[in-house]
Structure 1
Amino acid sequence: MELRPLVADETGETSPTPQTVPHHDPNGRSWSHPTRRLCHSCTAVVAVLALASCAASQSPRATSSISRLLGLNAIAPAQRADRQVNTSALMEQALLYGPASVAVRNLNQTWPPSKLLHVGEDCWKPCGNISGDCAWCGLGNACCRFGASNDPAECQGVTFPTKKWHTCVAPQKLYSVKHASQDCWFHCKARSGFCDWCGAGNACCMEKSMATDAPECRGAYAFGVDMQYRCVPTLGVCEFGQISDGNGGCRAPDTAPTISFYMYRASGPEWPRQLNLSVDMGSLGGVMWYLHNDVVTHCPRKFGIDRILRYYVTMKPTQALYQQGVLFDSYAEFLQGKVTDRTLQANHWSQYGYNVGCVRLDANRAVARYQDVVWYSLPGRCPSRDFASKTEKCAFAEPGGFCDKPNGTSTCTWNAIFAGEVFLDEVSGIADFDSFCNLGGFEYDSATDSGISNDFWNGKMNFEACSWRVSQVHQRFAQKYPNLPGALDRHPCSHEHKEVFGFARWK
């Protein structure tokens, strides 16, 4: 497979004091939250190398027992002082992510912006009666208005020469996706697909019509709404794990590809930070889905969960599994490092190797309207035993799939490197969680679909509200770890959960 460079989009929020504004879902219910911002900036692929310094700076936490939590037992990273992070391997992994056409176009975007033109003048009509990126203001500059909550991300944190009208301003950083919060259909000539108005290499697509839109919408991600055309980043005409067939179409590579992306975990403060133990992780949408349904419905939160951990995961399935037409094996639930379904060893791992598994939950968004609700299982050392019972003899017989550089052999299919953590209090705006609970606060009550003294989790069945919550976590990661890529969140998984969801079976 051809190695292609990646330029990742980061999400970040520059406004330090978000305002609370009301919103309404399609059923007429109102809810409020801090003014939404879906911000994107372009980070060179070499930023992945910062994972080395990030990993080296993390201190290990104390080890304690783990409670079972919906197949997402939070495992934090191991002590990394005993091994060096292979930065050249990280570079190689990053190069495998994303088509070259998108990367090259993103690199060619104007940054820093050209000279700011028409300073202080009213830019509304010259910029087509819409705010955001506008060449009339000079390449790379934008038309924005002070205090306008609906202006796109490129209008955040700018210096205004006048507060009377929309005027030309210079963005504070590069946002590779332009006009991200606005309807792009008419501005892109009533056509889906690649559109310069969205920023070079980005596309105008609708999440609900990806299958019938332009081919490049198949690789689109980071939708903020599902029933409107929006400017979104895209991997190109081929989906994750595919390559061009040379005739305008896509095909699966002949041999199993190496793919890298972020996985996330819900965690408590004293949970063990170890790798190679057999763990379950999730997409960010999957973790938020779980938190919303089964954690923030209690005060204090269930299992003492207070943060979301992020990992940079690289995986390469074995050829034996790949020949079955899939990248992932079946999902395996681990309880304190022990697989709950003992048949997986004989029926899967012995036959196909210790591959990463996955399951896609709530595809119809009947339980909560989060996008890409995916859980992953990463079989590590001695998956038939819990943490306290793993022995060297067992590890020799059941080595698992963790290794430094996945090569697709039966015992070398995945690697995970810690890439930051975000506390739930940081994104929900709770200053003192103990006091919040003691004074009668409640993050989310499923009966009223709202919280008490906090509205972050309001609207579980509102797609826009759920997308906003995910974006807030992305933004917080970008603020805390500005040198790490922010858009490695494509989550391929063809294994769909067919059962009716019953949370009791997971507790």
Structure 2
Amino acid sequence: MATAVGVVGTRSLDFDDFDDLCTSIAVVTPSSRTKRRDRTRSKAASTRAAPRMKEPDLEARAAASSAGGRRKRASRGESRATRAVVSEDQEQEGDLRLMTHGSGRSWICCLTLSLLPVLLLAAGAMAATASSWLNPTLPLADRGACHFYMYRAQSRVTFEWGSMNLGTLPGVLKYLHTEIVPMNHPGNRLWSIDRILRFSVLVRNPGPTCFAKQHVFAAFDSGRCTVPACASRWASSGYFVGCQTQGAGSIHAYEGAVWYSVPGPCPSREFRDETEACRAAEPGGRCRAPDGSPTCTWELKLVGHITLDELAGIGDYRALQRSGGREYDPATDRGVGTSFWDGARDRTRCAERVAAAERLFHRRYPSQPQHLPTPACLN
């Protein structure tokens, strides 16, 4: 079922430990302990035929999950935190593989010592590229792409990042305030949404500005565009990133609330109905370095999250309900047993909620910029 900036996808994987998301994107040389471990693994590999670990990116992990988990792990000693987040910050060049886990450290494996010079060059290039995700003045963003944060309301179950809706932080809070917390869903919030994700995003739409009038918002339902004329718009203008301003008014008072749409592969079908032929015919706009061409308009990386329980200060959603409490009642514009969501139409209270979310992100990820300039949306 469709939501504006939070969807539970049908092609999914459940993170074992979502709390260990990366706090920074860094490249460092391996510690001596890591080197010894690599040598031990190399010796073990010479005595038994071990399957080589495939690229554990989100798309591959999701496909593996939907196919019944056919892929085996390369190492029994891999930690739960690494399993949960390693796919978010990984690069591969030939036989070199670089992976980072939640603490921001990196393991760099090379097949032979003769590749060490190549490794050092690759690590340096990767460091510059990775840093640009958190520093909008570096070259990757200077090529014309807008670099800013997008956010998303999400459950613990996730899916391929593409053909989905996101928003500014005020936009996501507006969505939560008007469509999720008023429902008082028993046991879990509606759609099991329990967190806000932060993405570092590059957008380069066709045209001289990041967003123009023709870059209209498209709603997605489980990966499928549900508004009229999606295909014709993308055929004529490319797979652009759309935006829509959620103006403050009688329903809410969140200033700066904007929703975004990012078309991924096969946006004419739900995730479960995708085919390779459809993905080839409708490639979407995601690419490594957006340049404004029809199929290269956006890229993103998941860089953090906060939970709704810690944001609202309620400790435990189920415990609140068991005690007769309620996060928010639209009839009274107040909560019962909690006051965080009180005043949906109060500009001051809405601004305080946005500030509280920003502080929580900054507390969790102090190495990330607290703010990035958000481009204007004309729709």
Q: TM-score when scaled to structure 1?
A: 0.49
Q: Residue type matched to 1:316 in 2? A: R
- Aligned residue runs from structure 1 range 100-499, under 5 A: 257-270=144-157, 272-275=158-161, 277-300=162-185, 301-319=189-207, 322=208, 326=212, 329-346=215-232, 348-361=233-246, 363-488=247-372, 490-495=374-379
Contact 1:257 1:317 in 2 (8 A): no
Q: Given residue 329 of structure 1, which amino acid in structure 2 is its aligned partner?
A: H
Q: Aligned partners of 1:325 and 1:333: how far apart in 2? A: 17
Give the distance between the partners of 1:446 and 1:63, measured in 2 at CA: 39
Cα separation, 2, equivalents of 1:96 and 1:367 = 34
For residue 329 of structure 2, what is the amino acid of its counterpart? D
When residues 323 and 441 of structure 1 are mapped into structure 2, their CA distance, relative to the original with a 3 A threshold, is closer
User: What per-residue deviation string (whole Å, max 9, x for no partner) do you get for residues 188-235 of structure 1?
Assistant: xxxxxxxxxxxxxxxxxxxxxxxxxxxxxxxxxxxxxxxxxxxxxxxx
Cα distance, 1:278 vs. partner? 0.9
Task: State the 1:367 CA deviation.
Answer: 1.4
Q: CA deviation at 1:489?
A: 5.2
For the 8 Å contact 1:444–1:450, the answer to whether it is kept is yes
Q: CA deviation at 1:96?
A: 4.4
The alpha carbon displacement at 1:398 in A equals 0.5
1:80 to 79, 88, 95: 88
Higher relative contact order (CA 8 A, sep 6+): 2
CA distance in 1, matches of 2:219, 2:86: 21
Quick one: structure 1 residues 441 and 472, their matched pair in 2 at CA, closer, same or farther if it must change by over 3 Å?
same
Structure number having the greater helix percentage: 2
Q: Does 1:51 align with 2:25?
A: yes
C-alpha RMSD of the superposition: 3.3
Q: CA deviation at 1:328?
A: 6.5
- Report the count of equivalent residues: 273
Q: Deviations over 1:365-398 (max 9, x none)?
A: 3311101111000001111111011111111111
Confirm or deny: 8 A CA contact 2:57 2:90 kept in the other structure: no
Is the Cα–Cα contact under 8 Å of residues 97 and 259 in structure 1 kept in the other structure? no
TM-score by length of 2: 0.65
Measured against aligned partners, the alpha-carbon deviations of 1:412-470 in whole angstroms (never above 9, x if no partner) come to: 11001001010000011112221111111101111111100000011111111101111
- Give the direction of change, closer, same or farther, for the CA distance of 1:357–1:63 in structure 2 (3 Å limit): farther
Contact 1:278–1:338 (Cα < 8 Å) also in 2: yes
Q: Which runs of 5 or more structure 1 residues have no equivalent in the other structure?
A: 1-47, 65-75, 99-240, 242-254, 496-507
Q: Please give the alpha-carbon distance, in whole angstroms, between the structure 1 residues aligned to 2:234 and 2:293.
A: 12
**Would the aligned equivalents of 2:148 and 2:202 in 1 still touch at CA under 8 Å?**
yes
Distance in 2, matches of 1:463 and 1:324, equals: 28
Alignment of 1:12-51 (within 5 A): 50-51=24-25
Whether the 8 Å contact between 1:314 and 1:406 is mirrored in structure 2 is yes
Greater C-alpha Rg: 1
C-alpha distance after superposition, 1:32-85 (max 9, x if no partner): xxxxxxxxxxxxxxxx993357xx999x79979xxxxxxxxxxx9993366358
Q: What CA distance in whole angstroms lies between the structure 2 residues aligned with 1:436 and 1:400?
A: 42
Judged with a 3 Å threshold, the aligned counterparts in structure 2 of structure 1 residues 369 and 77 are, in CA distance, closer, same or farther, namely farther
**Distance verdict in 2 for CA 1:446–1:494, change over 3 Å:** same
Structure 2: tracts of 5 or more residues without a match: 1-21, 28-55, 67-83, 93-98, 100-125
- 2:279 aligns to what SS in structure 1? helix
**Secondary structure, aligned partner of 2:25:** helix
Residue equivalent to 1:124: none
